[in-house]
Amino acid sequence: MSKRWLSLRVLAVEDGVFTMGGRLLDRAFLIGVLMHNYTVEKVFIDTVEVDGLDATEKVLSFINKSKPLDLVLLHGVPYAGFNLVDADRIHILTGYPVICVLDRKPDMANVLKALKFKFMDWLERFNILKRQGEPIEVMLDGNGKLVLSIHGLTLEDALKTLKAITFLGKTPEPLRVARLIAKGLPPPILVEGASL
C-alpha cells in the first residue's frame, strides 16, 4: 500500500438516535470524526432537524473546520429520518471526494412512495436522491458486500481507499468510530443545552 493511502485525512459523518419510545424526535445529533494516520484528530457535534433539510449545511460546516481533507465518508444520504445529505453538492462545492457507504441498495420505488406520503416538498427531496446517481454494489476483500455512491473518485481509487482505511468488518474505520460515538450519545432532548 502506498504512503498516500496510509496518510489520508478523512472526515466521517454519522447521525445519532432520532426516535424515543417509538416516536420521532425533533432533533438528532450529527457527529463528524476527522481521522488522520489512523488517529482521531477532531470530533464535531451538532444537531440536525429530524426529517429536515439542514444536514448538508451541517456537513459543509464540519468540512470547513477540517480542511484540508482527502475524503468525506457518509453512511448514506438520509440522516435523522429523511434529512438528506447532498453528497454530489458537497463534492461540487468543496472539491473533496465523497463516498456514501450503504449496507444495501435503497428501494427507490418505496422511498418515493414514503416521500410522497410524508412531505409536501417530496419532489425536492427525491431530486436530491436522484442526483446521487445509481449506487454500486462491491465486495471488499471478503469482508462482505458494500453499496457505494461515489463522487469525485474513480471506482478503483474508491476501493483502494476503503481497503486502506477498513480494519474491522466492512465499515471504514472513520465511519465506524463516528457511528460508535453517535450511537453512544442519548438523544439531544435528554441533554441539557443540546440545541446547538
Determine the pLDDT at residue 104: 87
Determine the pLDDT at residue 139: 84
Q: Is the pLDDT of residue 95 over 70?
A: yes
Quote the pTM value: 0.92
CA atoms within 13 A on the CB side of 5: 14
C-alpha cell at 80: 435523522
SS3 of 24, please? strand
Using the Cα atoms of residue 89, residue 162, residue 174 and residue 14 in order, give the sign of their dihedral. Answer: positive
Determine the pLDDT at residue 193: 63
For 130-188, the pLDDT digits (tens) are 999 899 999 877 667 889 999 999 999 999 999 889 888 889 999 999 999 999 999 88
Determine the pLDDT at residue 168: 84
User: Which stretches within the chain are classed as H helix?
Assistant: 3-6, 55-64, 87-94, 108-118, 122-131, 155-164, 173-184
**Is residue 196 very low, low, confident or very high in pLDDT (cuts 50, 70, 90)?**
low
For 42-80, the pLDDT digits (tens) are 999 999 999 999 999 999 999 999 999 999 999 999 999
Report the candidate in 6, 5, 3, 52 with the shortest Cα–Cα distance to residue 30: 52
Mean of per-residue pLDDT scores for the chain: 91
**Could you give phi then psi for residue 132, rounded to 5 degrees?**
-75, -10
Determine the pLDDT at residue 87: 97
The residues spanned by each domain of the chain are 3-190
Architecture of domain 3-190: 2-Layer Sandwich (3.30)
Q: Is the pLDDT of residue 2 over 50?
A: no
Q: Is the pLDDT of residue 5 over 80?
A: no
